[in-house]
Amino acid sequence: MAFENRRPQDLAERMSRRRAARAESSKPDSWRRESFTLPRAEARVKAREFFDRYPKAAYLTEIEFWRELDDGRIEFTMRRLPTAD
């Protein structure tokens, strides 16, 4: 791979063009998302309630993202399709 002298501005412009092209060509996202930040025990209860209310078979429900914060709380995003709404 050849290295060329490139400026940071060149990279920024290339990334901007790619982002604009993706935005024009992409379809709207049909997922419904809800984000929560709760203590661990409450996060488990909330996720279970979400799965009970929106079963995976009908809504393709899943935990899209989660992480543990420094204070021990859990931040997570649940997503589902609105197919059976």
CB 42 within 8 Å of CB 77: no
DSSP 36: E
**Using 50, 70 and 90 to split pLDDT, how confident is the model at 48?**
very high
Average pLDDT over residues 13-20: 85
Cα separation, 60 vs 31, whole angstroms: 10
Q: Tell me which of 19 and 4 has the higher pLDDT.
A: 19
Instruction: Please tell me the least confidently modeled range out of 2-11, 38-47, 76-85.
Output: 2-11
* Domain assignments of the chain as residue spans, ordered by start: 31-85
22-51: average pLDDT: 87
Eight-state DSSP code of residue 30: -
The structure's pTM equals 0.63
Task: Say which CATH topology domain 31-85 has.
Answer: Defensin A-like (3.30.30)
Mean pLDDT of 8-16: 85
Q: Is the pLDDT of residue 2 over 70?
A: no
